[in-house]
Structure 1
């Protein structure tokens, strides 16, 4: 990659063995941006660096430093690099901690000194990147990774004086370098508020609640969701609600486990919940959308997030039959006044690589029609097809042709159409030769599994080669299905010129000649 693209820096895919990789590179790219890609979140030295870049800018590690000695090297190198590339389709680096726990990143250090050391990195960024969106993106990474990260177990390990010193050192950096976009982008806003306002005791209790895993479910007030940290709406502290607000972080987490037809009812099972909130008390449903129409079908839910949806095609349109067409399917989860929706995905367990077979369904007074499921090609989203336009029912039928001793020609054809209505469905055998199409007298039988058996005679058919098709009709569903032999070849009926006509013709010539 480096030779082909003349890259200054090449990132290789990182594999975390006993810890998560800092960045999961998924796409190989010859030229990426620091500001629109995750590369700046991985500053460690395990990359390929062009030597001329290092020598031109005199880049070196900081000596006699336990933590972050490579950051003053990596930051200016990346900011001066003319091209940065990523190799994501090959495992280039395996990240593993030492078994005895002696990795430098796991050691206790003088965190006040470490915060002052981080100030140098912020100054380097400010010197090389003009103020604005791009600088804010880089600063956000440093505050998140090298500054706020200290305010967890390392902070709690200090005594009261040590915690005050750490908070004071961080406040200097926050006051000097953060902007409103940076503050809005940093997720631990409650910590930021406490640091900026000198609320050291409150900060200690808040961090301890995280460390001890004593937080309860989030508070919900209308459409807003708030973290259940200490001092929420405590009048003596007057910490604003915005410091606790988690609404932007609420995500719809879901999976689809299975889908199948139960007669005219599509049954879907899965799990859906809103992150940060207790799954109990939420509502789950599926939105069906097509050309300006939207219908909501509720699902049965359990407290563990599991749901079962039963979508009756004959009553899904607010009690009426669902009209024909392609319907997109989106899951919607509500909790109080808060609502989130997302596309229904392909089942994740690999057992449903192919959608359930399409079938004929009964829509009551609207009559039978075809229905099926399919996954969109681009994103594998689940869609509902009413009218048999995407996944065809009965693409072929199997048949045989026999002749009786008396010369009578009979054709037997079988096909399976799930959901075939035995009372309303019709099956007719067609004989096709060139522009001619004949309908043969046909007797048909069908069982409850949709297996259709037909038998027809071909008496009186004119000589020639005839192809066989089976015409199936049920409500709005109509299809001419090619008939094939067991070998897969089209089934053809050859009707010869009757021998008796040749004999009579010869006799007539003899009589006329005499």
Structure 2
């Protein structure tokens, strides 16, 4: 287990207590704790823990590195176990977490294990905890929406590919590391029926990762998009994975905060996004998003911040877009700002709701089912005509 800690008091006390409470045999554990230049007693707390703990504990005290990547890489360099788990110093584990995760990896031969995460005074990812999965992958589950480092990784996988955290990134470094591990893994397991990890929101707002400015989010998006493009051939699977950086990392930069940004910041954000949109924004990504998400990113790609402001205002107000049904109810358009405006020139297809979004609206009929029915009827009519029968009864 690798614990990176910076100014972690008093949260570190409960974190370490959760390590001591693990039901797995202490002889099967090793803890490598890195104090990243703390001045609040974090280092002393780690040394006291090392002196009393039943499992072997190595404490490294170093000058502050500015982020979680450095301490985690130090820990990886010292790890000797079959698996590694990254525990943030302000979070805590469920008592059976390590025992369950190791058992899951051993049973299924998988290289990464996700244990259910629960937020404490903060939100936590939810969509991937529908059920426990012995073996899954990026394309048949929602694991791409949890890219934090708090997972069990088979150390042989990391060593084989020389995987380390990118210390040049000040945020999103864990997303890059975890996505690569998912892509290289021989299977991923999900434990959904037991809370393995408690993600704790600090009252002081401080965390191991420094928040930094908006430019860091673009750095993170750029790195993750490049990794996906480098490792996954162009096509449906790449588009599926690209949804994650577009939706989670890039789109928030063009949310409500965009309204209060200065003109200079708005311009800079559009400039930072431009090469990413040119390189990676594809119809296969766009059609996987909701209409308002797709519309905002389309306007970013078109570099139309003037039109984008109207859409962001509409979304922020939480208004329900009106629906326009066409083609006998099989096409549903959502009327967000500038719909069918000649001056704006935005294609209708940007406003076209995909079936999963359109189903919520009365009167919508899925085109695929209707098309199949119409084709079947036409086939019957042709057969009857060929045999000399009328079609009045059909």
In the alignment, which residue of structure 2 is the partner of 1:239?
346
Matches within 5 A, 1:96-495: 96-103=200-207, 107=211, 109-187=212-290, 188-213=293-318, 215-222=319-326, 223=329, 224-246=331-353, 248-250=355-357, 275=360, 334-335=362-363, 338-339=364-365
Q: CA deviation at 1:47?
A: 0.8
Query: Could you say if the C-alpha distance between residues 59 and 155 of structure 1 is closer, same or farther in structure 2, counting changes exceeding 3 Å?
Result: farther
Runs of 4+ in structure 1 over 6 Å off = none
Q: Check the 8 A contact 1:21/1:95 in 2, yes or no.
A: no
SS of the residue 2:193 aligns to = strand
| Structure 1 Cα separation of the partners of residues 118 and 259 of structure 2 | 31
> What does the per-residue CA deviation read over 1:410-442, in whole Å, with 9 as the maximum and x for residues that have no partner?
xxxxxxxxxxxxxxxxxxxxxxxxxxxxxxxxx
> What does the per-residue CA deviation read over 1:115-161, in whole Å, with 9 as the maximum and x for residues that have no partner?
14422222222222222222222122222222123211343342112
Matched, 1:53 2:157: yes
| Structure 2 Cα separation of the partners of residues 204 and 167 of structure 1 | 12
Q: CA deviation at 1:162?
A: 1.0
SS of the residue 2:133 aligns to = coil
Query: Could you say if the C-alpha distance between residues 120 and 202 of structure 1 is closer, same or farther in structure 2, counting changes exceeding 3 Å?
Result: same
SS of the residue 2:118 aligns to = strand
| Structure 1 Cα separation of the partners of residues 346 and 223 of structure 2 | 31
Return the structure number with greater helix share: 2
| Structure 2 Cα separation of the partners of residues 178 and 251 of structure 1 | 23
CA RMSD of aligned residues (A): 2.5
| Structure 1 Cα separation of the partners of residues 316 and 276 of structure 2 | 24
Query: Could you say if the C-alpha distance between residues 101 and 208 of structure 1 is closer, same or farther in structure 2, counting changes exceeding 3 Å?
Result: farther
Asked which structure has the greater CA Rg, the reply is: 1
Q: CA deviation at 1:186?
A: 2.6
* Structure 1 unaligned regions, length at least 5: 253-274, 278-333, 341-514
Return the structure number with greater strand share: 1
| Structure 2 Cα separation of the partners of residues 202 and 160 of structure 1 | 14
> What does the per-residue CA deviation read over 1:29-67, in whole Å, with 9 as the maximum and x for residues that have no partner?
221121111112211111111122222222222336442
| Structure 2 Cα separation of the partners of residues 11 and 177 of structure 1 | 28
Equivalenced residues, count: 257
Query: Could you say if the C-alpha distance between residues 55 and 169 of structure 1 is closer, same or farther in structure 2, counting changes exceeding 3 Å?
Result: same
Q: CA deviation at 1:3?
A: 2.0
Q: Check the 8 A contact 1:116/1:169 in 2, yes or no.
A: no
TM-score, L = length of structure 1: 0.46
Q: Check the 8 A contact 1:12/1:92 in 2, yes or no.
A: yes
SS of the residue 1:31 aligns to = strand
Q: CA deviation at 1:105?
A: 8.0
Q: Check the 8 A contact 2:287/2:354 in 1, yes or no.
A: no
* Structure 2 unaligned regions, length at least 5: 1-103, 367-394
| Structure 2 Cα separation of the partners of residues 217 and 106 of structure 1 | 37
Matched, 1:79 2:186: no
SS of the residue 1:7 aligns to = coil
| Structure 2 Cα separation of the partners of residues 81 and 95 of structure 1 | 25
| Structure 2 Cα separation of the partners of residues 135 and 78 of structure 1 | 14
Q: CA deviation at 1:15?
A: 2.2
Among candidates 148, 162, 173, match of residue 69 of structure 1: 173
> What does the per-residue CA deviation read over 1:42-95, in whole Å, with 9 as the maximum and x for residues that have no partner?
111111111222222222223364421212211222211112111222111123
Q: Check the 8 A contact 1:216/1:228 in 2, yes or no.
A: no
| Structure 1 Cα separation of the partners of residues 183 and 305 of structure 2 | 36
In the alignment, which residue of structure 1 is the partner of 2:194?
90
